[in-house]
A = this chain, B = another copy of it.
Amino acid sequence: MKLNIALLAGDGIGPEVIDQAVKVSDAVAAKFGHEISWTPALTGAAAIDAVGEPYPDETHEICMAADAVLFGAIGLPRFDNDPSAKVRPEQGLLKMRKALGLFANVRPTFTFPSLIDKSPLKRERIEGTDLVFLRELTGGIYFGKRGREDNDNTAYDTCTYTRAEVERLARKGFDMALQRSKKLCCVDKANVLETSRLWRETVQRLEKEYPEVEVSYELVDAVAMRLVQWPNSYDVLITENLFGDILTDEASVISGSMGLMPSASLGEKTSLFEPIHGSYPQAAGKDIANPLATVLSAAMMFETAFGLQDEADAIRAVVNRSLAEGVVTEDLAEGGKAYKTSEVGDWLAKNI
């Protein structure tokens, strides 16, 4: 099979972790007889510096022409504490999500048997955790009208959802639940927000079409608690954009390292795959960042964008072996030998 993949490395540790995912993907392609054509494109601060724009048209065309996008991370500290910055790397990310119609962000959270004792949570609380968030990614308060009023003394943001936006995300959630344990949790704040009431109504209507799926409705504050108390009581969770941002980051801690959790963003056309961690600028250029979240995002890409299950499984298997054999970066080394980012990538590619 010929795989055309757009490669958006981005900022900070983005290029370093992307490099390892490329090595591993090429190795798996060679093993299974595929040919990957990688097309690099600019995004984030790197794109702002080069062309003054965090998601340039040329990058968008490359993404649209590709079968899938593999994405690193974006953001640099020089933009962070400057509320007046006119262009921000994050705008590129949001523009890209919208332009590619990536409305469903799939964020699994699971534990690795060999890492379970590195979690801040106790073993008995997390054993068996295997949940997946479907976060709505192109609506809500991220994309509503915002601005200043009253002589710059008032700021506002608007959260908007249409029934159609909720329904297409919810349907993906029901379909995913059917393939898993047939349990779906809709997370909202329906005791306060009108948009949340629309979410709940819409999901309640869909329940009739999916009689096999058992649906529960939980408030976002309650879920923020239970995710720490009993994460393994959840299976598929669907939620709106901002709640999904907060809760998936919270949930990622369960696995024991931020550097481990992958994600997929699905939509109308090309899908995108990225680690859930950020650009971690303090570590940039040091060859120390954990590449596994990006490598596992590549596994999701083989599986979801190309339907290549064996290839995805091969990547996951070699990742598990590297963890079991202690071929890990410093965040997981705990006194043992800390491998470099590039060494972990080389080892994975060789052992696939």
* Contact surface of A with B, Cβ cutoff 8 Å: 75, 80-81, 83, 88, 90, 94, 120-122, 125, 141-142, 144, 146-148, 150, 153-164, 189-195, 197-198, 200-201, 204, 217, 220-222, 224-225, 227-229, 242-243, 245-247, 249-250, 252-253, 258
Contact = CB atoms under 8 A, between A and B. Distances in A.
Given A120-B122, A156-B158, A156-B160, 7 more contacts: A144-B156, A153-B164, A154-B162, A154-B198, A224-B246, A224-B247, A225-B250
A282 to B, nearest CB: 13
A197 B247 contact: no
- The 6 A-B pairs at the shortest CB distance, nearest first, are namely A155-B198, A224-B250, A146-B194, A221-B249, A83-B197, A156-B160
Given A153-B162, A158-B158, A253-B229, A94 B242 contact: no
Contact of A146 (B193, B220, B245): B193
A245 B221 CA distance: 6
Contact of A75 (B94, B120, B191, B252): B191
Per DSSP, chain A at the interface is helix
Contacts of A249: 221-222, 224-225
11 contacts: A80-B190, A81-B217, A83-B204, A153-B162, A154-B161, A156-B194, A156-B195, A189-B242, A221-B245, A221-B249, A225-B252
Given A120-B122, A225-B249, A253-B225, A193 B141 contact: yes
Nearest to A276: B221
B191 A90 contact: yes
A144 to B, nearest CB: 7
A141 B159 contact: yes
A155 B227 CA distance: 28
Given A150-B162, A224-B247, A250-B250, A193 B157 contact: yes
B121 A228 contact: yes
Given A190-B83, A247-B224, A157 B229 contact: no
Contacts of A161: 154-156
Contacts of A228: 120-121, 228, 250, 253
Nearest to A222: B249
B194 A148 contact: yes
A158 to B, nearest CB: 5
B75 A157 contact: no
Contacts of A225: 249-250, 252-253, 258
Contacts of A155: 160-161, 194-195, 197-198
